[in-house]
A and B are shown apart, each in its own frame.
Chain A
Amino acid sequence: MATQDHKNTGAQPEEQEDAQPEPLPAPAGAQESADTQGVDDLLDEIDGVLESNAEEFVRGFVQKGGQ
Chain B
Amino acid sequence: MHRVMGTETEYGIIAPGLLSANPTLLSSQVVNAYAATLREGLGNLAGTRWDYTDEAPLADARGWRLDRSAAHPTQLTDEAPVLTAEQIALERGEPADSAVLMNLVLNNGARLYVDHAHPEYSSPEVTNPHDAVLWDRAGDHVALTAMRRIASTPGFSPVHLYKNNTDNKSVSYGSHENYLVPRRVPFSQLAASLIPFFVSRQVLCGSGRVGIGALNQAPGYQISQRADFFENEIGLETTVRRPIINTRDEPHAVAEKYRRLHVIIGDANLNEVSNYLKLGTTALVLSLIEHGLAPLPELADPVRALQVISHDPTLTATVELADGRRLTGLNLQEIYFSAASRAADADPQTADVLRRWEGLLGTLRTDPSAAAGQVDWVAKLKVLQAYRDRDSLEWGDARLGLIDLQYADLRPDKGIYHRLARRGDVELLVGQAEVERAAVEPPRDTRAYFRGKCISTFPAQVVGASWDSIIFELPSQERLQRVQTREPLRGTAALTEQLFEQASDAEDFLARLLSGPEPSVAP
Please give the residue numbers on chain A whose beta carbons come within 8 Å of chain B beta carbons, in ascending order. 1-2, 4-11, 13-15, 17, 39, 42-43, 45-46, 49-51, 54-55, 57-67
Contact: B173 with A66, CB < 8 Å? Answer: yes
Q: Specify which chain A residues have a CB less than 8 angstroms from the CB of B370 in the assembled complex.
A: 4, 7-8
Contact: B374 with A64, CB < 8 Å? Answer: no
One of A5, A8, A62, A66 near B172 (C-beta < 8 A): A66
Q: Specify which chain B residues have a CB less than 8 angstroms from the CB of A43 in the assembled complex.
A: 386-387, 390
Q: Specify which chain A residues have a CB less than 8 angstroms from the CB of B355 in the assembled complex.
A: 14
**For the complex, is B406 an interface residue (Cβ under 8 Å from A)?**
yes
B217 to chain A, nearest CB (A): 16
**For the complex, is B399 an interface residue (Cβ under 8 Å from A)?**
yes
Please give the residue numbers on chain B whose beta carbons come within 8 Å of chain A beta carbons, in ascending order. 10, 12-14, 16, 19, 23-24, 74, 115-118, 166-169, 171-174, 176, 238-239, 264, 355-356, 358-360, 362-363, 367, 369-374, 382-383, 385-387, 389-390, 398-399, 401-403, 405-406, 413-414, 416, 419-420, 423-427
Give A3's nearest chain B residue, CB to CB. B369
**Interface centre among A17, A50, A58, by most B CB within 10 Å?**
A58
Give B74's nearest chain A residue, CB to CB. A65
Using known A-B contacts A39-B386, A66-B174, A67-B239, determine if residue A50 contacts B115 with beta carbons closer than 8 Å: no
Contact: A54 with B402, CB < 8 Å? Answer: yes
Using known A-B contacts A1-B382, A65-B171, determine if residue A57 contacts B402 with beta carbons closer than 8 Å: yes
Contact: A61 with B405, CB < 8 Å? Answer: yes
A2 to chain B, nearest CB (A): 7
Contact: B168 with A58, CB < 8 Å? Answer: yes
Contact: A13 with B373, CB < 8 Å? Answer: yes
Q: Specify which chain A residues have a CB less than 8 angstroms from the CB of B398 in the assembled complex.
A: 54-55, 58-59
Q: Specify which chain A residues have a CB less than 8 angstroms from the CB of B169 in the assembled complex.
A: 62-63
Complex alpha-carbon distance, A55 and B374, angstroms: 30
Contact: B414 with A64, CB < 8 Å? Answer: no
Contact: A54 with B401, CB < 8 Å? Answer: yes
Chosen A-B contacts, 6 in total, with CB atoms closer than 8 Å, are A14-B356, A42-B425, A49-B413, A50-B402, A62-B19, A66-B174
Q: How many pairs of A and B residues are in contact by the CB < 8 Å rule? A: 140
In addition to A61-B405, A66-B174, 11 A-B residue pairs with Cβ atoms within 8 Å of each other are: A1-B369, A7-B370, A8-B371, A9-B427, A13-B373, A17-B359, A51-B406, A58-B402, A59-B398, A64-B118, A66-B118
Contact: A64 with B171, CB < 8 Å? Answer: yes
Contact: B374 with A58, CB < 8 Å? Answer: no
Contact: B360 with A14, CB < 8 Å? Answer: yes
Q: Specify which chain B residues have a CB less than 8 angstroms from the CB of A4 in the assembled complex.
A: 367, 369-370, 372
Using known A-B contacts A8-B427, A54-B402, determine if residue A66 contacts B10 with beta carbons closer than 8 Å: yes
B272 to chain A, nearest CB (A): 12
One of A49, A51, A57, A63 near B118 (C-beta < 8 A): A63
**Interface centre among B10, B117, B402, B403, by most A CB within 10 Å?**
B402
Contact: A42 with B423, CB < 8 Å? Answer: yes
Complex alpha-carbon distance, A39 and B389, angstroms: 11
Complex alpha-carbon distance, A15 and B413, angstroms: 31
Q: Specify which chain A residues have a CB less than 8 angstroms from the CB of B116 in the assembled complex.
A: 64-67
Contact: A15 with B359, CB < 8 Å? Answer: yes
Contact: A9 with B373, CB < 8 Å? Answer: yes
Contact: B402 with A65, CB < 8 Å? Answer: no
Q: Specify which chain B residues have a CB less than 8 angstroms from the CB of A54 in the assembled complex.
A: 398-399, 401-402
Contact: B16 with A49, CB < 8 Å? Answer: no
Q: Specify which chain B residues have a CB less than 8 angstroms from the CB of A13 in the assembled complex.
A: 359, 373-374, 427
Contact: A60 with B371, CB < 8 Å? Answer: no
Contact: B167 with A62, CB < 8 Å? Answer: yes
Using known A-B contacts A60-B19, A67-B116, determine if residue A46 contacts B383 with beta carbons closer than 8 Å: yes
Using known A-B contacts A60-B16, A66-B174, A66-B239, determine if residue A8 contacts B402 with beta carbons closer than 8 Å: no
Q: Specify which chain A residues have a CB less than 8 angstroms from the CB of B419 in the assembled complex.
A: 45-46, 49
Complex alpha-carbon distance, A63 and B372, angstroms: 28
Complex alpha-carbon distance, A44 and B172, angstroms: 31
Contact: A63 with B425, CB < 8 Å? Answer: no
Complex alpha-carbon distance, A31 and B35, angstroms: 51
Contact: A63 with B13, CB < 8 Å? Answer: yes
Give A49's nearest chain B residue, CB to CB. B414
B75 to chain A, nearest CB (A): 10
Contact: B174 with A67, CB < 8 Å? Answer: yes
A45 to chain B, nearest CB (A): 6
Complex alpha-carbon distance, A10 and B383, angstroms: 19
Give B397's nearest chain A residue, CB to CB. A54
Q: Specify which chain A residues have a CB less than 8 angstroms from the CB of B176 in the assembled complex.
A: 67
Q: Nearest 5 pairs between A and B by C-beta?
A: A66-B173, A14-B359, A64-B117, A8-B373, A67-B174
Contact: A1 with B385, CB < 8 Å? Answer: yes
Using known A-B contacts A54-B398, A67-B264, determine if residue A61 contacts B12 with beta carbons closer than 8 Å: yes
Give A45's nearest chain B residue, CB to CB. B419
Contact: B174 with A61, CB < 8 Å? Answer: no
Using known A-B contacts A8-B372, A15-B359, determine if residue A65 contacts B406 with beta carbons closer than 8 Å: no
Q: Specify which chain A residues have a CB less than 8 angstroms from the CB of B406 in the assembled complex.
A: 49-51
Complex alpha-carbon distance, A10 and B382, angstroms: 18
Complex alpha-carbon distance, A42 and B176, angstroms: 32
Complex alpha-carbon distance, A9 and B369, angstroms: 13
Contact: B360 with A66, CB < 8 Å? Answer: no
Q: Specify which chain B residues have a CB less than 8 angstroms from the CB of A66 in the assembled complex.
A: 10, 115-118, 171-174, 239
Give B23's nearest chain A residue, CB to CB. A64
